[in-house]
Amino acid sequence: MPKQDKHLATSLPALEHSYRGSNPLVLRVGSSIQERRLDKYLHGRFSNFSRAMLQEVIKAGGVRVNNQPAKPSLKISPHDLIEITLPELPSREISPENIPLNILYEDDDFLIINKPADMIVHPARGNTHGTIANALAFHLASQSDEDEEDKTVELPEALGEFRPGIVHRLDRNTTGVMILAKNTIAQWKIARQFHDRKVEKSYLAIVHGIPDLTRDRVNAPLGMHPKLRYKYAIRPETGKDAVTFYEVLERFRGFSLLKLTPKTGRTHQIRVHLAHIKHPVVADNMYGGKPVYPWQLKNTEPVAEDPIIGRCALHASTIAFTHPTTKQIVRFEVPLPPDMQNLLDLLRKFRKI
């Protein structure tokens, strides 16, 4: 038995409660299994997931048997190899918190929100409260209470204890459009689109300097910084592939407005890539960006005043993906937040070329 299969087979009980989705698992069917349906076999292995949900995962192409597409009713045989990508298991660590969400769109499957600056997406060490996930848990809990009172609509059973439907992340100080899933199947289907790079995203950034080319591609592998664990860096030998396309939308003296289209979704990708080409994002102090003060743009004597923008000038402006239920392409766009718009207005006034 291959080493990977043996490890998975002997650790499945623990794996069921620790698996966090998105990464494919490979299972080898035991020699004692005879003519069992695929969906029943997987439900026996992953009892935390309902059989109906597993059937949806299979139908959506999330399961392959012997490297071939499968159906829920497929009869498996001893030593078959099953590759499966599951949604995340319910998190029991997220507490609902009454934090307002700027909701742009909502239906039974997901919400589209306009994420503010200085807000973390998911609880992590040192930041266990005040996150998007806590706010979503409260929002779903409130809906559940209303539904029970009206007795007209019920939340899907797979939602469990108001599990946060996080399918992608934005950095703490990046603003803009973000998808939050409301049920397990929607979460899995949208997350799968991110995994397969079928989600179209674009960002706007105000950067230092003006790139030589109006349009170009940055193709530079990313990995953990060799010395600073909280940073990322270009790692040609060990990094994961990372590609970002950019387009110069406006030029100013000493600055430019860029549209960015990442083809991969690495952590800090846009920020590191822009720093790599010597055009860091304004106020991104982690990767070389500097704060900008009004007196600098006006070319006057330095005075004590606050910077025009107090965080990284990066904004997720648009996103497009396939609706998990209707199968239609949906697209959402969010305008620049006030702080970035103010900086842009001042650049147009004082630094216009």
CB 340 within 8 A of CB 315: yes
CB 167 within 8 A of CB 190: yes
Structure tokens at 297: 């743009």
Element (H, E) at 94: none
* C-alpha span between 218 and 263 (Å, rounded): 10
* C-alpha span between 66 and 150 (Å, rounded): 48
Q: Report the candidate in 141, 196, 192 with the shortest Cα–Cα distance to residue 164.
A: 141
Is 171 in the active site?
Answer: yes
Sign of CA dihedral 58, 61, 65, 68: positive
* C-alpha span between 106 and 333 (Å, rounded): 14
One-letter amino acid at 299 equals: N
Q: From the centroid of its chain, how far is CA 243?
A: 16
DSSP code at position 287: G
* C-alpha span between 15 and 13 (Å, rounded): 5
CB 191 within 8 A of CB 22: yes
Query: What is the CB neighbour count within 10 angstroms for residue 85?
Result: 19
Pairing of strands 314-322, 175-181: parallel
* Beta pairing partners, 111: 106, 180
Element (H, E) at 36: strand 36-37
Q: Which residue has the tokens 């990322």?
A: 232
Candidate list 39, 80, 171, 339, residue with the active-site label: 171
CB 222 within 8 A of CB 233: yes
Catalytic residues: 171
